[in-house]
Amino acid sequence: MFESAELGHTIDKDTYRKEVPLLREALLEMQLDLLQAAKFPVIILITGVDGAGKGETVNILNEWMDPHHIQTHALSDPTDEERERPEMWRYWRVLPPKGKIGIFFRSWYSLPINEALQGSGKNSELDQHMGRINNFEKMLTDEGALILKFWLHLGKEQQRARLKKLEKDPKTRWRVTDKDWQNFKIYERFRRVAEHALRQTSTPDAPWIIIEGNDPRYRYLAVGKAILQALQTRLKNGEPRKTSVSVPPLLTKIDKLNVLKKLDMSHKLAKKEYEDELEKYQGRLNLLMRHANFKKISLVTVFEGSDAAGKGGSIRRITGALDARFYEVLPTAAPTEEELAQPYLWRFWRHMPSRGRLAIFDRSWYGRVLVERVEGFCSESDWMRAYSEINDFEEQLIRSKTVLVKFWLSISKDEQLKRFKERENTGFKRFKITPDDWRNREKWDEYENAVCDMIDRTSTEIAPWTLVEANDKNFTRIKVLKTLCKMLTEAL
Amino acid sequence: MFESAELGHTIDKDTYRKEVPLLREALLEMQLDLLQAAKFPVIILITGVDGAGKGETVNILNEWMDPHHIQTHALSDPTDEERERPEMWRYWRVLPPKGKIGIFFRSWYSLPINEALQGSGKNSELDQHMGRINNFEKMLTDEGALILKFWLHLGKEQQRARLKKLEKDPKTRWRVTDKDWQNFKIYERFRRVAEHALRQTSTPDAPWIIIEGNDPRYRYLAVGKAILQALQTRLKNGEPRKTSVSVPPLLTKIDKLNVLKKLDMSHKLAKKEYEDELEKYQGRLNLLMRHANFKKISLVTVFEGSDAAGKGGSIRRITGALDARFYEVLPTAAPTEEELAQPYLWRFWRHMPSRGRLAIFDRSWYGRVLVERVEGFCSESDWMRAYSEINDFEEQLIRSKTVLVKFWLSISKDEQLKRFKERENTGFKRFKITPDDWRNREKWDEYENAVCDMIDRTSTEIAPWTLVEANDKNFTRIKVLKTLCKMLTEAL
């Protein structure tokens, strides 16, 4: 979930100087339109990791827009007045009216997340709390409000470096407290709790927008542009009720960096080494699946990837190690009549393996947020809601002791071209290349966006994606086998 | 929530004989239309209290409709196959396809409710479970499914009588097990847990339909007509996505009985008695509000009722007993500009009293499901979602130690006419009668339906409605004061 916000996004000074005046002007104009239409309120939450620049971001927004029509609320401990009322009263009393913007620095998420951090670790109370927040936000969006929830993120090392840097400078030293360092010590736990909370509350109507907080220029531009974009979309669409989706799920235009571009595509494995490793990991996998405890769990693996990325080859290296009675390979093609008469996930539910068995999905339920999204086979609201439906689905698998391993096989555009041509020129491979493949290739960038969104929204603590640098087939196959063995070993 | 299902609804034999053939024919026709259109599946849950006739109802439905296109699932303990998969797999595998009807006798609610009954009594796990069910049902309705959730209800005495009757008859004795009697012993607890679960999961897209199970003829007709009505509405509206509301919240046409008609309107109090009681309860109320513990709670009372039902008079008998510094009377008129720029409940949230104080609402947030519904001041989906928003709101009040007392003052149509005329003829009362009052009176039946729906959907274990037989002003005022004292005494 936080993958895209740990890439080291930066914006250089020149770009920033050039873009900010344009952004400010556009924001002010939008603010005026919002005020004049006075049709809906805008509620902006600025939350996230300590040291990720929440306060500064709130300040910048007030500087960039007309502060007369922005109400900023930095709610800390409840006042006497607030303590005597229901928990949510303090937020109700300061909700922005139609036409205005309310910025909440510390929001209704702060308290429950803190409680979960200090609490027993049972997540049913956190879930109960998140359920109530979902009801509250649903009421707000049903009433027309535009809710933008920003989570400013820092990776662990980024947070350490940032706190140290702030401490070093006499001018900013006051901002780092003992409590910040105490929080830093429980970073992993905080991250897990936060991710759980975000996953529960990232709804199609009010999705989370996660932004890397390390570089101030990137952070400001990303937040500012997201606000602008969401407001423009909503103002253009008129009647707020009819546009269930108000925010584009991912911001791709701030800089050129994304999780796929950050992969090191030069990984290679020589033939000799490959053969040794293949034998080693196939043997290990075979043993793992004969382990007594494997009878108590199920294993599901998902293969997604660009056309010609080597999904089939990798799958055969897995099945090659196994007894055919214990696995099933499930290619995902266009849905049958029977499947079309059912909810989208039905075709996958029906193939969930029983204990002691492995199901390998060659393409999967992610089709909805990839090909169906890009090709327009389903509506925007269908694929937007699919993220949370898929997260729910995978959570159910994991709760019932299924080990879920998801691979994205990534190849470069050049490598794909090479492989397409090779397929066309090799008799027995010719069936593997179709006009569809060439058409998909033309939409390379759109697919890339969809993949990044998919990873951001569905790579969770409990069901992470494994990205495989797949330009070299040997490397790909070994990484897949190795990952599978590793995750299985942990589970057994 | 169960008020309307404990009234002793019955249908006589003649009516039943007349109505059933017509209903069957209509149901069969609808079933054919459903099949031919094949646009959405219908999912019917038959759940409820033991002995309320769940099994018989399932049988009747299969008899009345074409069983070829109905799949009935009486899922008991999970099979080996099911146990090895995620909990919901057993339901996924038997979901009806588009155009067909699936009846679930024991559904996804059975297990969590049983667990909560046997468990520690903490409700966070039940809430977590209900949250997951809400996600599941939301996915189904987003995919177009029509979900009809029936809860067949019996009051405690009804259940006892029904179990005894079944036991007496040799032909039905086998149906009463030891477990049924064990369950009967924890009836109160079961009712509380069930109500909690139903409240959490009665969503605008898939609201619960609660039906009294005591009289088989009433039960069959009520279930059958609800199915027919929901199917007709959905088939007529075409595109399922666009009609968020698929089921009318209450069925009024099965018989003439409703909670208001069941009230004994002959209650009276003579002047002498009234004066004694008034002094007694005003004194008691005054003492209660000076109680040391009153500083730790808040008190909110809601007065709703027909025009001229005596709300104002009752309120004055309360305030007459109190120190003006500690209460506030809040008349609810048309919303101001400022209030219109906010979510509907905002205007009430802002007046929530602090500890040690009383707020009296003369009309309230229930306006949305009464006057706004009947007069069309808001859309159907707005007032449909208001029931759960109000339940959430009131739950928050109660969680933060607010005592909430809700009165519905009920007068007969004749009594209202008498009072209207009296007001017109009395100089100082003339301001109290407006053309609006006469117009509202013309919609008496529609208001009555709205009131019954309101009571069914918002009279909860934690925030019950008190219905006051208000034809006699003396009786009304004393009942109000007495109830207030009683609920306050319990809370202190």
Confidence class for position A120, pLDDT limits 50, 70, 90: low
pLDDT recorded at residue B427: 73
Same domain, A70 and A166: yes
Q: Report the gap between the CA of B403 and the closest CA in chain A (Å).
A: 12
pLDDT beyond 60 at A423: yes
Q: Do A388 and B143 touch (CB under 8 A)?
A: no
Residues 66-105 of A with CB under 8 A from B: 81, 84-89, 92-93, 95, 97-99
pLDDT at residue A186, rounded to an integer: 87
Does pLDDT of A62 surpass 70? yes
pLDDT tens for each residue of A252-288: 567 778 889 889 999 999 999 999 999 999 999 999 9
pLDDT in tens, A367-390: 999 999 999 998 888 898 899 899
Residues A154 and A298 in one domain: no
Check whether residue B358 and residue B487 sit in a common domain: yes
Query: Does B318 reside within a domain?
Result: yes
Q: In this model, does residue B241 exceed pLDDT 70? A: no
**Residue A333 touches chain B, beta carbons under 8 Å:** no
The CA distance from B282 to the nearest CA of chain A, in Å, is 26
Residues B188, B83, single domain; the answer is yes
Predicted pLDDT at A84? 87
Put simply, the answer to whether B392 touches A86 (Cβ < 8 Å) is no
Domain's final residue, options A242, A262, A296: A242
User: Among the residues of A400-443, which ranges form H helices?
Assistant: 413-425, 435-442
In A137-236, where do the E strands start and end? 146-153, 208-212
Contact: A385, B139; criterion CB under 8 Å:
yes
Please say if the pLDDT value at position A86 is more than 60: yes
pLDDT of residue A243: 45
C-beta separation of B451 from B309 below 8 A = no
B87–A399 C-beta distance less than 8 A:
yes
Q: Of A413-422, B201-210, B232-241, which range is least confident?
A: B232-241
Of A345 and A248, which is predicted with more confidence? A345
Interface list for A 275-304 with B (CB within 8 A):
298
- pLDDT per residue as tens digits for the range A443-453: 999 999 899 99
Burial label for B79, CB within 10 Å (0-12, 13-18, 19+), is exposed
The partner residues of B277 in beta bridges, in order of sequence, read none
Query: Which residue of B38, B87, B125 is in closest CB contact with A400?
Result: B87
Q: Is the pLDDT of residue B307 over 60?
A: yes
Chain B residues inside the 8 Å CB shell of A42: none
Q: Give the 3-state DSSP-derived string for A92-128, with helices as H, strands as E and coil as C.
A: HCCCCCCCCEEEEECCCCHHHHHHHHHCCCCCHHHHH
**pLDDT on residue A250:** 52
Label residue B172 by pLDDT band (50, 70, 90).
Answer: confident
- B326 located within any domain: yes
Q: Quick one: pLDDT band at residue A121, thresholds 50, 70, 90?
A: low
pLDDT of residue B245: 46
pLDDT exceeds cutoff 60 at B164:
yes
Q: What is the pLDDT of residue B250?
A: 52
Q: What gap in Å lies between CA B399 and CA B391, rounded to an integer?
A: 12
Separation in Å, CA B332 to CA B10, B339, B365, B376: 39, 12, 8, 18
Across the interface, do A89 and B399 touch by the CB < 8 Å criterion? no
A431-490 pLDDT, tens digit per residue, is 778 888 888 889 999 999 899 999 989 998 889 999 999 999 999 999 999 999 999 999
Spatial distance between the Cα atoms of A476 and A468, rounded to a whole number of angstroms: 6
Asked if residue B440 and residue B316 are part of one domain, the reply reads yes
pLDDT tens for B28-69 read 999 999 999 888 999 999 999 888 889 999 999 999 999 889
Identify residue A418 by its one-letter amino acid code: K
Higher pLDDT, residue A172 or B198:
B198
How high is the pLDDT of residue A258?
Answer: 87
CA angle A31, A37, A42 (to 5 degrees): 50
CA distances from B339 to A97, A140, A240, B320, B386 (A): 8, 14, 19, 30, 17
CATH number at residue A33: 3.40.50.300
Looking at beta carbons, which residues of chain A come within 8 Å of B296? none
Higher pLDDT, A364 or B169: A364
- End-to-end alpha-carbon separation of chain B, Å? 25
| A208 and A288 both lie in a single domain | no
Of A203, A227, A242, which residue constitutes the final position of a domain? A242
Least confident of A305-309, B421-425, B480-484: B421-425
Give the model confidence (pLDDT) of B249-275 as tens digits.
555 567 778 889 889 999 999 999 999
How far from A484 is each of A71, A299, A315, A422, CA to CA, in Å? 51, 10, 11, 29
Determine whether A167 is exposed, middle or buried from the number of CB atoms within 10 Å of its CB (0-12, 13-18, 19+): middle
- Asked if residue B288 and residue B195 are part of one domain, the reply reads no
B75's tokens: 């899922």
Residue A97 has pLDDT above 90, yes or no: yes
Domain end call among A242, A258, A287: A242
A vs B, Cβ pairs < 8 A, gives 126
Nearest to A103 by CA among A35, A33, A47: A47
CB atoms closer than 10 angstroms to residue A363: 17
A76: its two tokens: 């800390």
Residue A285 lies in a domain: yes
Range of the domain at B401: 271-491
Residues A469 and A330 in one domain: yes
How large is the average pLDDT for residues B98-114?
Answer: 91
Same domain for A286 and A190: no
pLDDT band at A247 (very low <50, low <70, confident <90, very high): low
**pLDDT over threshold 60, residue A244:** no
Q: pLDDT digits over B383-433, tens only?
A: 988 998 999 999 999 999 999 999 999 999 999 999 999 888 877 777 778
Residues A392, B99: C-beta atoms closer than 8 Å: no
User: Which residues of chain B have a CB within 8 Å of the CB of A335?
Assistant: none
- The answer to whether residue A53 is domain-embedded is yes
Distance from CA of A245 to the nearest CA of B (A): 14
pLDDT at B243: 45
B9, B297, B387, B394, B402 from B488: Cα distances, Å: 33, 10, 25, 17, 10
Q: Are residues B314 and B429 in the same domain?
A: yes
Q: pLDDT tier at A98 (50, 70, 90 boundaries)?
A: very high
Residue A248 lies in a domain: no
pLDDT mean over A406-421: 94
In a domain, A94, yes or no: yes
pLDDT of B475 reads 96
State whether A396 and B88 contact (CB < 8 Å).
Answer: yes
How many domains does the structure of chain A reveal?
Answer: 2
Q: Does A344 touch chain B (CB under 8 A)?
A: yes
Q: Are residues A224 and A315 in the same domain?
A: no
Q: Is A145 on the interface with B (CB under 8 A)?
A: yes
Q: In this complex, is the C-beta atom of B342 within 8 Å of any C-beta atom belonging to chain A?
A: yes
The mean of the pLDDT values for chain A is 89
Same domain for B276 and B418, yes or no, is: yes
pLDDT at A245: 47
Min CA distance, B89 vs chain A (Å)? Answer: 7
Q: Tell me whether residues A352 and B89 touch, CB distance under 8 A.
A: yes
Domain assignment present for residue B266? The answer is: no
pLDDT at B463 over 50: yes
The answer to whether residue B250 sits within a structural domain is no
- Give the global pTM: 0.87
